[in-house]
Amino acid sequence: MVLLNLYIVYFVVCILSVNSTCTTNNDEDVRKFPLNFAFGTATSAYQIEGAWNVSGKGENIWDKYVHKNPNVVIDKSNGDVACDSYHQYDRDIEMLKELGVDYYRFSLSWSRLLPTGSVANVNNDGVDYYNNLINGLLKHNIIPFVTIYHWDLPQKLQDLGGWTNPIIQDFFEDYANFVFRQFGDRVQHWLTFNEPKQICLCGYGQTTFAPGLNMTGVGDYMCGHNLLLSHARVFHLYDKKFRIKQAGSIGITIEGTWSEPFSSSKEDFNAAERFMEFEAGWFMNPIFSIKGDYPAVMKERIAVNSAIQGFSKSRLPEFTEEQIRLLKGSSDFLGLNFYCSTMARHINTNVSSEPSYEDDANVYSYVNQSWPHAASSWLTVTPWGFHNYLNRIKNLYDNPEVIITENGYSTWGGLVDNDRIKYINLHLNALLDAIKDGSKVTGYTVWSLMDNFEWQQGYSEKFGMYEVDFQDPSRKRIPRKSAKYFIDVIRTKSVKHYDPEYYEINDCTNSVYV
């Protein structure tokens, strides 16, 4: 197993010493996780660190995007200060210790370490910051789980074309080599990228995320191609130069959304499958499938549409046979971010004269309004979709090891967040169902440790188990009810089994929920 290989004896002793929190629960109501199962929580650099232009940090694409276009964020906010974790990492570590997590997933700011994106210009203050954070985590037996890239490309590299320019592969490999050398003696769990689809589709195909280039059907595919090849190069770099000495593992995090057919028709079933192939298969298939390469449906549809539109070749770049071989199996585990499900319906449309990812996928995807909703308009509560998606991965990709690297629920604020507790509990039960079905899921990560800058939603939506007061210059953090719930889950390595239709939070006298 990837996680807990260093501390398993310590955690087994702790688990065996803990009794159930609520004595009113019957034994049959409690579901146990495997002893080597790990729990954590997550953040990302731009969303929490702040200190955007101090201590030698360079400008990144989100800095530029929100400063130049403040209206793209619903509350016109930005990550200039955010949670001020650059100055308050000690409090962050204290919160993680309070929760009792096995690991903490955080990301490195490329432009804080290498202000221009190049290893020719190292910011030692940035190196010191991450050394202090990593050492502080290890001091409290918290495993650092590090994402190398979480959406915040140095602006100097974007000026060269960013992820659409093949030269980015060289820069990313150099950057990864640098962080392995700097931190790999203490960091043994790595992710190359967080959510490639959001990087490419939302940042290069649309204007949802930085850099907001709006090059749909072209820029997004170029981005995805270079990103995948960058991932493969860094995986093999780690494999050849660092794995034996540092005894670590490296993977990638991909977001998955379960797609439910609108009807039982073959057309809608195919539309749902097509949605999932275009959404996550785009990046999972080249790495985790037996044959490798992009999903067949992507290759076929984009090639046909490109020909109709007068292109001389497919807008989807083509891998060489050597690149296909390099990509296949280039991950020790699959990091899965799962939040919700969607509905899918087949549509009959003529191909537009202009390239479009939406035309290529040809799926009408929408949120079922009858499903329970979080504060985020896109976030529905569909634990059955989580179960289905894990089974899909098991069956489609020869049952790889999966670590849930994000799963979470948004509210509008407040310390009593019963809906978040219910969401997490339902998804943990669905996860246990998937393990029972044979899925190799070894870890679960709540998004997020604390409220933070949620991209276009700014600070309006709250995902944190800790509330952050963004009006307070000290950015005071206060635990929510969900934090106390998660403490109980981690301590007991278990969740209560219940009928979700009648679920209520149990506030019995000696409960941590009180």
pLDDT of residue 506: 39
Q: Could you list the mean pLDDT of each consecutive 10-residue stretch along the chain, which spans 514 residues?
A: 48 32 51 97 99 98 98 98 98 98 99 98 98 98 99 98 98 99 98 98 98 98 99 98 98 98 97 98 98 98 97 98 98 98 93 94 96 97 98 98 99 98 98 98 98 98 98 98 98 77 36 29
> What span, in angstroms and rounded, lies between the C-alpha atoms of 151 and 160?
16
Query: Which of 49, 195, 255, 279 is the catalytic position?
Result: 195
- Please give the pLDDT value at position 350: 86
User: Please, are residues 406 and 41 in contact by the beta-carbon 8 Å criterion?
Assistant: no
Q: Which of 406, 454, 461, 467 is catalytic?
A: 406
- Cβ atoms of residues 8 and 36 within 8 Å: yes
DSSP code at position 364:
E
Residue with tokens 């089994």: 497
pLDDT score at 225: 99
Alpha-carbon Rg for the chain, nearest whole angstrom, is 22
Question: Mapped to the 3 state alphabet, what secondary structure does 313-334 carry?
Answer: CCCCCCCCHHHHHHHCCCCCCE
For tokens 């949620």, the residue is: 454
| Whole-number pLDDT of residue 509 | 25
Q: Provide the b/e sequence for 195-214 (b: ≥16 CB within 10 Å).
A: bbbbbbbbbbbbbebbbbbe
CB of 76 closer than 8 Å to CB of 83: no
341: nearest Cα among 225, 285, 257, 279: 257
8 A C-beta contact, residue 62 and residue 152: yes
Please tell me the pTM assigned to this model: 0.93
Tokens at 51, concatenated: 């200190």
In the chain the domains, ranked by start, together with CATH numbers, are: 30-502 (3.20.20.80)
Contact (CB, 8 A) for 59 and 111 = yes
| Long-range contact pairs involving 197-202 (C-beta distance under 8 Å, separation at least 24) | 197/224, 197/254, 197/255, 197/279, 197/280, 197/282, 197/283, 198/151, 198/255, 199/151, 199/163, 199/223, 199/227, 200/163, 200/224, 200/227, 201/357
What amino acid is encoded at 405 in this protein? T
Task: For residue 441, report the phi and psi dihedrals to the nearest 5 degrees.
Answer: -95, 125
What is the per-residue pLDDT for 384? 98
Active site residue 406: yes
Give Cβ neighbours of residue 5 (< 8 Å, ≥ 6 apart).
188
Q: Is 28 a catalytic residue?
A: no
Answer yes or no: are the C-beta atoms of 266 and 260 closer than 8 Å.
no
Give 15-84 as a DSSP string. Answer: HHTPPPS-TTS-GGGEEEPPTT-EEEEE--HHHH---TTSTTPPPBHHHHHHHH-GGGSTTS--SSSTT-
> Does an H or E element contain 449, and which?
none
In contact, 487 and 494? CB cutoff 8 Å:
no
User: What DSSP string runs through 378-440?
Assistant: T-B--HHHHHHHHHHHHHHTT--EEEEEE----BS--S--HHHHHHHHHHHHHHHHHHHTT-E
